[in-house]
Amino acid sequence: MSLPDTATAAPRRGRNVRRIVLIVGIVIVLAVVGTAVGFETYARKHFSQCIATQLEKSLGSKVSVSFGAKPLLFTYVDHKVGSVTVTSDDAQFGPAVGMKVRATLHDITTNGNNATVGSSDAEATWSDDGIAQTLQGLVSGVTSDPSSNSLDVKVLGGLADLQVTPHIVGDKIQVDTNKATLLGVIGIPNDLVDNIVKSMTQSLQSYPLDMHPSQLTVTDTGIQVKLTGGASTLQGPENQNQVSC
């Protein structure tokens, strides 16, 4: 009867032990990574819901929220969110409808009931169709003209034309009338012109997060406004069913 070769068995046992240790280590790492990914997914959903809920009040529509590279697991510890990008395809500023907005919020601090924003910037696009819908009942169509930086507005079923120019004065947008004619000759009644200009102006005055216009451009399809804002506070949830930050 031959005895086991102890010289060979010892290295084999050593390799088996190292293999087991390696497998256990891999399992532990995968478990930790999986748990972290699960918590990160939950954190992103949580903060996305709370921020979206608060911004929807200002924008008057549903919004889509995306975050920067910082893992949001850390937000539960330091209550800081590096940056958030918010988009809305049907924002409502005052009486305006049909505005598309893409905003970036910087240096957000969460504190349960409210969230503070260090600064913000955004781009709002108001299409010709959106302007016409906002002025429904007053106009029959709107065509933007970037060459003259103005809007041509059809009034009274297209029998009358109104040309207006939106521009920034101070930290507000002002709409000026360039010309207003009926059948190319006769002037349009002042009260009709005033109502149209007033409605357009009101639609360009109210912006979220205390932002103000920094640049306005008339494009081929409407108006594009760049906005900037400083420190501001997001409104907290009004009832317990809403997600708190």
What's the farthest any 2 CA atoms get from each other in the chain?
A: 123
Q: What is the pLDDT of residue 16?
A: 65
pLDDT of amino acid 181: 79
Of 47, 49, 43, nearest to 241 by C-alpha is: 49
CA 148 and chain centroid, separation: 30
- In sequence order, which residues have a C-beta less than 8 Å from that of residue 183 and are 6 or more positions away? 159, 160
Residue with tokens 């003259």: 148
pLDDT score, position 186: 63
- Average pLDDT for consecutive 10-residue bins of the chain (245 residues)? 54 65 68 59 67 70 74 70 83 79 86 79 92 86 94 84 91 88 69 84 83 94 93 68 58
Question: What Rg, from alpha-carbon coordinates, does the chain have?
Answer: 29
Place of tokens 């497998």: 23
Task: Give me the sign of the Cα torsion angle 28, 30, 34, 37.
Answer: positive
Q: Cα separation of 93 and 105, whole Å?
A: 18
The 10 Å Cβ neighbour count of residue 83 is 16
Q: Are 33 and 98 in contact (CB under 8 A)?
A: no
> Tokens standing for 220?
């081929």
pTM over 0.75: no
Nearest alpha-carbon partner for 59 in 96, 98, 91, 94: 91
Cα 217 from Cα 223, distance rounded (Å): 6
Residue 94 has a pLDDT of: 72
130 Cβ neighbours under 8 A, 6+ residues apart: 96, 97, 98, 99, 222
- Which residues are 156's β-sheet partners? none
SS3 235: coil
Residue 17, helix vs strand vs coil: helix
* Residue 227 CB partners (closer than 8 Å, separation 6+): 103, 120, 121, 122, 123, 124, 207, 211, 212, 213, 214
User: What's CA 67's distance to the chain center, in Å?
Assistant: 11
What is the CA 37 to chain-centroid distance, rounded? Answer: 25
Q: Are 114 and 236 in contact (CB under 8 A)?
A: yes
Which pLDDT value is given to residue 227? 93
